Structure 1
Amino acid sequence: MTGANVAAATTALLLLITTISSSSQDPRHNQIPLGSALYPTTQPTSWLSPSGLFAFGFYQQQQANNNGGFALGIWLVGRNGSKNTVVWTATTSDDPPLTPNARLELTKQGKLVLETQESNNLIANTSETAYSASMLDSGNLILYHQNSTIIWQSFDHPTDTILGGQSLPYEAQLLSGYSSSSRKRFILAMQSDGNLVLYPGDTANTPIDAYWASGTFNPPGLKYHLYLDANDSSLLIKDNTSSIQRVLYSGSSLPGRGSKIYRATLDTDGFFRLNAHDINNANLYTLSGWPQGNNSCLVKGICGHNSICKFDARKPHCTCLPGYDYIDPNQHSLGCRRNISQPNCAGKDYMVPMQNLVWANRPYYAAAKKLQKEECASSCLVDCKCWAALYTNGLCIRQEPPLRYARFTVQDEQPSSAFLKVGNMKLNAPMPVPDQPPQKSSTSDKAILRIVLVTSIFTLIFCSTIGISCHLMSKIRVLKYKRLLEIRDLGLNEEVALRRFSYSELKRATNEVRAIGKTHHRNLVRLLGFCAEGPKRLLVYEYMSNGSLGKLLFGDERLPDWDERVRIALDIARGILYLHEECEAPIIHCDIKPQNILMDEFWTAKISDFGLAKLLMPDQTRTFTGVRGTRGYLAPEWNKNTPITVKADIYSYGIVLLETVCCRRNLDANVSEPNEILLSGWAYKCFVAGEVHKLVHWEEVDKNVVENTVKVALWCIQDEPVLRPSMKSVVLMLEGVTHVPMPPCPTSNSM
């Protein structure tokens, strides 16, 4: 290369670096004015950063299950043939794919709005008005006020990725799968205690669920956040107000020259990885990952319940435990279900041993003294509640399903033996060949033959007589029934007369019963079966040993502490989310109230009583039906003769959330002040006055946390269903993943 060429290349590189630096600092550079809009299939489809490194807009989702739809987000633009890398999304993998007629606009009113056929959604929740926007070369989308101050930025709301110069804030989370069709299966949480922890997504984030933790703890008065340095790729857990920090990864030199873009992402396989993108040659370097190593089976939740993870040095394989079958034979990672409904408990079940198998679950029983392996297996075999036993170093624990996070032990782990209960395996096994019996005399054989022959004849005559009698009795009953039909009198008075059902009515009802029976979620009480004998109609649910939430909140025993209340509120929200969005067809419960929330032996909240539930068809979003539910929890639309949607459950949940926060009923005439009688009205007055501490005055709780929870409840009890959030949004707000905007005043309260 000539000296002139070297000089020109150096000048171009310096110009690129200068452009990146200046554009990241100057809000006027690359300004996006009010009224600007983007479209999925017509130009413009995106807004580029000044040097074209990053883009914000619509991108095509290639996954088959998204039917070629679109999503809205920010991506690192691929160079030299490399693919685009999505780093932030406004829409999640749980949302339906956007269609070509979607539209994003920075409106004249200063709001960033996504318009679809179904609704208009605010992308940036801010009470202030934007006057312009910019897409920066740092990968940050920013909304500016009139005086160029930042009022909102995507860096404050990470999804599954943080970029160089970005932080994961105190008590915030990354969720895997935002930018793909994979469901959000894993969480990286920057906890209030200072620990950075990895969890499976569908859990309560308890220590037993964690599969990696940084081991850092907040010194008094400090609030840690995770920070990725844009210059040298250092990944730090630190506090802004002090020099105290924990280094997860220290920057290191990389091959090649030129600028690097650093990215730390929670991938869909549950690993948190630090990557570097070389801008010039489009090379991608993986600098580090957590947990360490490549054994995916150490990631809890990589395989579903009741399955075992086996790693073959390339990828994990999920197989069902003995006694279980795949929920979906085409998707082994979804887990397995039992292939018999209940143990036989009559000695016909069979224990299958497996060596060096472990799982993480709270056992319902642990032996206080050491046993032999055989004793451990036998104790489970005769216990109808037990489906598996784990024997380690002389100690035996017994376990109910589901069995979570099952895998084989790794080096340096304590050897163990597992015993799995399966149904009637001995009956299906080859029968052993018996010893040759001694020879009998021919006389004895003839005598036995005569006895067998006579017995057979008498048996045949007896069975024939019984058969003919049954046939005649049946004929008589049929003739009598036809006679009664002819005179249109079934021997019943008018009040209990039999109703004639059409085939379509019975078909629809059978769809509803099957759908509710198939619902299975850790926050729903499971329907085990039913009784239908004559006029007796009973449903059989799993036993819930700790009673109802109503008894817990309004009873005379100890009240749950604040953390328990928040966990219970999330349990209920996740159960409703399953009914609304994750079932085969949406289900409106119609009667969400504390008395219908039951607590199991581990104080997990589960929704019960589907007697009033309304099943929607897959293509339905609303339905007309008579008033269902309980006074005090009914949404206003029940009394307006308007279509009912899942938003009716959202309203009821808002009331329950307030009752859970305050440990009192929504309507209580025994309070000291008249304005406190109606909890929902009093809660709004306390919120407006900045006095939410009055709602939980009997214990010390962070005011900001209480305020956020109350704001979520106030959004849920809005009069207009369209103003109420979806249950998915409620879950994300309660988890602290998304910001909770200021709620308007609920205009009325249903009684």
Structure 2
Amino acid sequence: MGRNSNDPLWESFRNPTDTLLPNQTLERGSFLVSQKSQANFTQGRFYLRMLDNGNMVLVTQSVPSNMDYDDEYYNTQTSDTTNATNSGDKLVFEENGVMYVLKRNNQRQILTPRSIPSGSDNYHRVTLNFDGVLSHYYHSRILNSSGWNILWSQPNNICIEIDGDKGPGSCGYNNVCSLGSNNRPVCNCPKGYSLVDPNDAYGDCKPVFSISCDEVGRGSPEDLYSFIMIRDTDWPKSDFQIISPSTEQDCQNACLNDCFCVVAIYRSNSCWKKKLPLSNGRIDTNLNSKAFMKIRKDGVPPLSIPGFPNSGSSRSKNWRNLSVVLSALLGSSVLVNILFISVFCWGFFHIYKKKMKILRPTSHVADSMCHSFTYKELVEATKDFKEELGRGAFGIVYKGVMPIGSRNVVAIKKLDRVAHEAEKEFITEVNVISQTHHKNLVRLLGYCNEGAHRLLVYEYMSNGTLASFIFGDLKPTWSQRTNIAMGVARGLAYLHEECSTQIIHCDIKPQNILLDDHHVARISDFGLSKLMMINQSRTLTNIRGTRGYVAPEWFRNSQVTVKVDVYSFGVLLLEIITCRKNYENEESYGPEAILTDWVLDCLQEGKLEALVQSDFEALNDKKQLERFVMVGVWCIQEDPSTRPTMRKVCQMLEGSVEVTFPPCPYNFSITI
């Protein structure tokens, strides 16, 4: 019997690429493959496979050989070698949004959460993202402005789950992976390294300086190299020697005196020496480790002057050629020689001086990637400061367009409270700000310090402020809110403990938390509080901050520490949990008008569900809800010594440290 003429030879619905739609299935032997990057739709290196043994797995591949690496970073465990009928048969994505592995005995292993937005009111899709995370999205059929929201994703932490000996990991070689919102990885080159391809943040990083065994004997290692210390960062697959037992200082010395060693990891009285390329880089707060990264003391190699290259062979060749010319000229008359030498010296000095001026403009910002702009350039970039993005205590922010690396759109802040005569202090503080690099901080790209004009150029954050996100008409998902809260906590922990100069923000609030393209929380305006003090009296009682977020010690004659940020974060955390401002209208809210008081009442009375009414995702995870609320109350304790550090806050939010029931935060015997 011949084939029906109406039967298709091939159809796209039976051959998905990176996305499953409702009513689609994946039979044994079928797969999804990610795209290469967010903007590149060619084949990537992450695969979802329905294996012949019945398992659904996520794996990485070697591109372009298309050979699977051995390590599976997610596995449904639906194969059964002892009973074939218990093994998975196919992956099914139903019309109602439920996805499961259907076994040969017709039993189902459900992969989606129990509570799923209605299929009749929402569109659903499951996509293997370019970064290797499998995500289930839903989109309201009624509210077009709601966008695609995350229902669930796997794996829970791709930075850690990809742990094979082959391949670079979730980020490229020498790159470092940290967990962003919705379980998506965020990749950042460590200090002293830059992207091989500036347009691929998830790709390989290269050192911007040289570490070579050829330099052995040319000087002591102490003269050539120093270390940058990074906490809780590791490249677990790049070890070439383990020293145990070891002290922290012995670990540094061992790496310093080994020309192959680029990083030493110290943890639990042991030292791991690592060499290039570094693979499977990740940030993991459970490590409790210190990474000592070796860098040259003189930073990047000195820039070459045209005609005088740095490379030894070409430089020797150029000088040989020059010596031939000089020999010929010196054989002529004395007068000609004097004229030639005078002109040569004048020209060399003039060109060298001009070149140095180009290489080192008026910045004075040492060892940073910060650009110095003229005021005219920023006027042109903003079209005479036409489009205002927002305003706050430090000045007005405008949208601008200018090419800085791979970026075009930038945010330009005009500072209006810096003393114009304090140029040295301004440059010092800008230098400190520019050297802070963390995925949860808005990066400073450049500045202007020209006459009366003081401006800062930042990354542009496309999704605006956290305030507009959590206080808007559409309530963000619980997973979005928890990821944002943890991102802010990690950013503050970095400012307090990990960057070279400790920074107290002094004004943590939703308006100073921005959201990038992937809704990753990015802290803005850090370092500006100290910068604004340039023309203010530096008394302990000089209150800075915003009403409702200001810690009690600001009102007392007591020392202000990083704990003021912990207090502000506690208020912010409670706002993120409830999607409510810390102060509301008393006529409308009554006894619930003051958020901190209401949260405390609900916690003590065991009525936390009142804080997240109709938020089914939050209600389905009451343990996490209770943990987050208790952390918020610990942070707003009136006594600063009782508040946890931001590092401990991170551990408490993640669940790696137990959170005990907090005491009442208020000491009513103290008058504020």
Fold shared per TM-score above 0.5: no
Structure showing greater radius of gyration is 1
Larger RCO of the pair (alpha carbons < 8 Å, separation 6+): 2
Q: Give the TM-score normalised by structure 2.
A: 0.40
Q: Give the TM-score normalised by structure 1.
A: 0.37
